[in-house]
Structure 1
């Protein structure tokens, strides 16, 4: 009673095909693939970094706020 031979596996495959049918088996595999894709997408969403916090205004060495130059208005 060692491991199963190729003939055993062929018989098991035929029995599974008879019980489930070709259509049902392909549906089952499609559903499993969708589940794996959803799992991978969920794992990728967890790895995204949190949004960056707004930075403080830039200050010069005298610790005074930097004054931005005025922009000219067009039209």
Structure 2
């Protein structure tokens, strides 16, 4: 068992489906945007 009762194979299958649906360029854009937002929201 993996995280929360989800096996590693199920996580990999979901990841592959997401990559096929959205493509790597769009996911990279989303990751960059979310990283910028998390840096901006971390106000001391």
Do these two structures clear the TM 0.5 threshold for a shared fold by scoring above it?
Answer: yes
Q: Determine the structure 1 residue equivalent to 2:41.
A: 39
Instruction: Give the unaligned 5+ runs of structure 2.
Output: none
Give every structure 1 segment of 4 or more consecutive aligned residues whose post-TM-superposition deviation is greater than 2 Å: none
Q: Which has the higher contact order (CA 8 A, sep 6+)?
A: 2
CA distance in 2, matches of 1:37, 1:25: 18
TM-score normalised to the size of structure 2?
Answer: 0.75
Q: Determine the structure 2 residue equivalent to 1:73.
A: none
TM-score normalised to the size of structure 1?
Answer: 0.48
Aligned length: 40
Q: Which has the larger radius of gyration?
A: 1
In the TM superposition, residue 36 of structure 1 has moved relative to its aligned partner by 1.1
